[in-house]
Structure 1
């Protein structure tokens, strides 16, 4: 106030938009500065937090997109489905390329990888289109679940429809490729335990249980019976009446005390 350069005013507009000050407001200036500074700090913090959360959701969505179809992924994100471990009923599908080892011996490493990449991309499109979850790739094989992380009433039907469509897609690939290949698919339905399984440094969302083992052994049986698709009685009993099936055989799968009836589509 003693500085001769100080401009004194009683006009609030002049005070707000110029260097002029109102003497009665002198004590308000530091408080106002702190108030405005605190408000700006809170806005900045909230904005940074929102960006961080959005980035986390984007990363999570990208990771989920590796395993789940877009519709299933959106449901997981919106409903915050738990991955801690649950027991659910689900259909488990195993697929495997017939004679892939001998075929790969005739190809270079680059050609083998390129073939598998193209094959997996086409199959994953089919799996996602039918609402399946890619559990894992096992070399040239694929393990798929229908009913995880959330079960649906038509899981068994969608698994069989997916298998049929996978074979049709493979036929289309064979028509374009130089080396035709065949595929076997086995499906079972039953209780599984689904959740993040592994160590603290590496977790994997997967399913375990007798249904998984049975589906894998049914897939192996497709070689013996010369069928591209085989599934259990548990799957057949859940198919709609208009899906015609045929009984192939009753077999004693390893680890099973009683016989397992195997069916295929007619």
Structure 2
């Protein structure tokens, strides 16, 4: 049965992803047997439920054109992972990462976020803004997600008995959501300056010695109780940016 599902998935992916011609693409997709024979739940696990739905519900041209949306982006990495990897050996690295990611993805799903990418020991997480929700409610949920990610990470133990520590960089702004890549290999992704800034913040969090680093675009909309948990770090220059960015940092117990 597993072999059948795997072969069905391969056929599904070949029809869905490798045929770039819109007419052929739509013609193939009209064959419902293709979808019935593929294990879409497995596809959801491989590329994400949101990406699967976006890909299935849109034609090729629309996917490649992308759409402009507002979103918050979190980049989260494990502290001192290179050093840890050298200590525990390659055989234990995957086990550690899978244990850690299992906890992180569960938290992100709980907060209705999208795990868009696994980047070595890191994650790129996206929260698409829905105008039905207030900005305060939206931003509070994101910060609560980041706090829980940092707190729960400590239950994952390195073979030497120490807890995993991680850091998050978070930014909000306009991004393009759509297919990125070539005809032979592509993925559903989010790109734009807002994404780049979030990535820079995660990298800067180590130098500024904070577990969670956010931009003013996030802090401005937080409730008073959450905003008071952050320290105003002033203006900072980010690599590749001409304009300085106003940053705020939060530390937690067991901070690196």
Q: TM-score, normalised by structure 1?
A: 0.70
- 5 Å-filtered alignment, 1:225-236, equals 225-236=208-219
Q: Kindly provide the CA deviation profile for residues 38-57 of structure 1, in whole angstroms up to 9, marking residues without a partner as x.
A: xxxxxxxxxxx65444335x
Deviation at 1:181, TM superposition (A): 3.0
Name the counterpart of 2:110.
Answer: 129
**Unpaired runs of 5+ in structure 1?**
1-48
Name the counterpart of 2:67.
Answer: 86
**Unpaired runs of 5+ in structure 2?**
1-30, 252-256
Q: CA RMSD in A?
A: 2.7
Picking from 42, 52, 57, the partner of 1:62 is 42
Give the secondary-structure state (helix, strand or coil) at the position aligned to 1:172: coil
Name the counterpart of 1:181.
Answer: 164
Distance in 1, Cα, partners of 2:112 & 2:90:
32
- 5 Å-filtered alignment, 1:138-217, equals 138-147=119-128, 153=133, 154-174=137-157, 178-217=161-200
Change (3 A) 1:197 1:175: closer
Name the counterpart of 2:94.
Answer: 113
Q: Kindly provide the CA deviation profile for residues 163-182 of structure 1, in whole angstroms up to 9, marking residues without a partner as x.
A: 10101111222499713332
Deviation at 1:248, TM superposition (A): 2.4
Give the secondary-structure state (helix, strand or coil) at the position aligned to 2:183: coil
Give the secondary-structure state (helix, strand or coil) at the position aligned to 1:64: helix
The question of whether the paired residues in 2 share the 8 Å contact of 1:222 and 1:230 is answered with yes
1:261 partnered with 2:234:
no
Distance in 1, Cα, partners of 2:235 & 2:157:
32
The question of whether the paired residues in 2 share the 8 Å contact of 1:68 and 1:132 is answered with no
Distance in 2, Cα, partners of 1:94 & 1:101:
17
Change (3 A) 1:193 1:62: same
Name the counterpart of 2:3.
Answer: none
The question of whether the paired residues in 2 share the 8 Å contact of 1:243 and 1:265 is answered with no
Q: Tell me the matched-pair count.
A: 211
The question of whether the paired residues in 2 share the 8 Å contact of 1:251 and 1:259 is answered with yes
Q: TM-score, normalised by structure 2?
A: 0.73
